[in-house]
Amino acid sequence: MDDLALHAAALAARHPGAARLRHAGTSRAGTPLWLLSVGHGSRHALVVAGPHANEPVGGATALRLAERLLAGPPPSEEEADITWNFLLCLDPDGARRNEGWLSGPYTLGHYFRHFFRPGFTEQPEWLPDGADRAALPETRTLLALQDELRPFFHCSLHGVDVGGGFVELTRDLPGLAQRVAHTAARLGVPRELGPYDTLYWPSLGPAVYRIPPPRRGDLAAAITEAAVESTWYHPHRYGTVTAVVEAPMWGVPAVGDGSPAADPETFLRTVARTLRHDTRLLDGLLARLRPRLAGVLDAERLLAPVDDYLLVSPGLADSWDPDVHDPAARPLPACDTAHLTALGISGRRVALRTAGLLHRLATAAGPATAELVPRLDALIDGWCTDYREHYGARWIPVARQVEYQSRVVLAACRLAARRPPGPTPPPRPEEGRPRSGEPEWGAGTAVPMHRE
C-alpha cells in the first residue's frame, strides 16, 4: 500500500501544475488515506480504489488513469473541464493483510491461503446505520469527500476473484453495455451475464446492472441482496452517477454464456447440497480451532468474516434449492448457463474464503492446531482444482485487468459527462471553501514524499 502513495507522490512531483496529493483521512490503524487529484476543471469525478481489502486492482487502475490523463491534453473541451480525484485505497489496513499473496505466485491456492476480507460491518462502503451514524473513519472520509466534491461521476473499483467483468450503476448510462462488450472482447476478459451480486437487480444491458435504491436491512439481507444503504447512493442527491466497475482476476468463460441450461433444477440442488455439506464441515473445524486461538495476533479480525460466512451459508443454500425455496419469497430469475455458473462459483467461493481464513488461523496458532492444517490444505487444494478443471478458471495478467478496468471507467465517465444536469443540490455548508482542483485547495498539505 505504501507503493501506491509513493507512485502518486512521484506523479505529483513530475506534474506540479496539474496533479496534487493530499491526506484526506486516516484509517482505524492510523494509515493515511491519500487523495490524488488531476486537472483543474469545474466538474469532479471521484474514483475510489480498494474498498474491498482483497481486490487490489483498483489502486493500479487509479494510477494508470492518472498517468493517462497527465500524458497529454484531454480529447475534448468537455473532458478538459473535469477534475479527477483518486482515493488510492479506502481500506489500507485490510489490504495489508493480503500482502502474503500480492507478490505471487498467482495461483488460486496461494491466493485463498493468504486471503483476507473484514467482516461485513467493517467494510467501509456499507452504511448499516445510515450515513449520519457511520462508525468507520474510512467511511466518514469517503462521505466527506462526496459531500465536498459533489461529483457528477463517482466510481468504485472492485475486483472479482473468479468470474467475469461487469458494471453496476445507480443511473442508466445508455451505450455503456456496448463499450464494455468491445473492451472485454479486445482484451479477452469474460463478461459476467448473471453475477450473483446482481441476481435480483434489473439489467441495463449485457453485463451492466441497475443498483436498486437503498433500504435498511439486516446482515443477511445485506449479504444476499446487497441493497442496503451504502456510499454508492450517498451522492445521489447531487445528481451523481455511481458506477461500480468489477474486473476479474481469474476469468471463467462460462459466466458469459447466455444459452439455456440443460437441467437447471438438478444443478441448483447440487450446488445447494454442496454448500450445506461444506458449511457443516467448516463449522466443525472452527469448533475445534476456536478454543486454541488465545494469544493469536488478529484472531478476532480473522474470525469475524468466518462467522459471517458460516452464518449466511445455510440461508444461501436454501434460497437456491428448488425443493426448499419458499414460494412466497422472491423467486430466482431465469437460470441460464451464465447464472448457474455464477451461482456455482459463489457457493464454492464462500467455502474457499472460509477455509483460507481458518488456514491462516491454524497456521498462526502453531503446534496447538497443527493437525488441522493438512485437513484445510486438502480442502483448499480440492476446491481450487474444481475451479480450474470444472469451471476453467484462468489467471488474467494484472496489466490486462488494469487496462480493462481503466477503459471501462473512462467510457462510463464520458457517458456520465454527457448526461443532462441533475437536480439542484442543497447549498454548501461552507460556500467559500476552495474545492479540489482550485489553486487554494489543499494548500499546506503537500506530501513530504513528493521530493523523492
Backbone angles phi, psi at 170, to 5 degrees: -90, -20
pLDDT of residue 248: 98
Burial 314-333 (b: 16+ CB within 10 A, else e): eebbbbbbeeebeeeeeebe
Give the DSSP letter of residue 249.
E
CA angle 337, 409, 160 (to 5 degrees): 40
Return all residues near 143 (Cβ < 8 A) that are at least 6 apart.
131, 134, 231, 234
Q: Helices marked H in 15-136 — which ranges?
A: 57-71, 77-80, 92-96, 99-102, 108-113
CA distance 74 to 80: 5
Question: What is the residue-level pLDDT of the chain in tens, covering all 452 positions?
Answer: 679 999 999 999 999 999 999 999 999 999 999 999 999 999 999 999 999 999 999 999 999 999 999 998 777 888 889 999 999 999 999 999 999 999 999 999 999 999 999 999 999 999 988 899 999 999 999 999 999 999 999 999 999 999 999 999 999 999 999 999 999 999 999 999 999 999 989 999 999 999 998 866 555 554 545 556 899 999 999 999 999 999 999 999 999 999 999 999 999 999 999 999 999 999 999 999 999 999 899 999 999 999 999 999 999 999 999 998 676 777 788 889 999 999 999 999 999 999 999 999 999 999 999 999 999 999 999 999 999 999 999 999 999 999 999 999 999 999 999 998 766 666 665 544 444 433 333 333 322 222 22
CA distance 17 to 40: 9
Return all residues near 160 (Cβ < 8 A) that are at least 6 apart.
166, 192, 195, 246, 247, 248, 249
Number of H helices, E strands in the chain: 14, 10
* Helices 176-187 and 398-417: angle between axes, nearest 10 degrees: 160
CATH no. of 1-252+396-418:
3.40.630.10
CA distance 53 to 115: 9
C-alpha distances out from residue 252 to 134, 191, 221, 259, Å: 36, 9, 27, 15
437: three-class secondary structure by DSSP: coil
298: three-class secondary structure by DSSP: coil
C-alpha distances out from residue 9 to 22, 105, 449, Å: 9, 28, 6
Residues 249/395, Cβ–Cβ less than 8 Å: yes
**Which of 247, 242, 238 lies closest to 230, judged by CA?**
242
Report residue 318 CA to chain centroid gap.
Answer: 26
The 10 Å Cβ neighbour count of residue 262 is 9
Residues 118/301, Cβ–Cβ less than 8 Å: yes
Instruction: Say how many CA atoms lie within 13 Å of 70 toward its Cβ.
Output: 22
CA distance 147 to 151: 8
C-alpha distances out from residue 377 to 73, 172, 261, 362, 366, Å: 52, 44, 33, 11, 15
CA distance 264 to 339: 10
CA distance 58 to 32: 17
Residues 272/318, Cβ–Cβ less than 8 Å: yes
Residues 138/390, Cβ–Cβ less than 8 Å: no
- Amino acid occupying residue 403: E
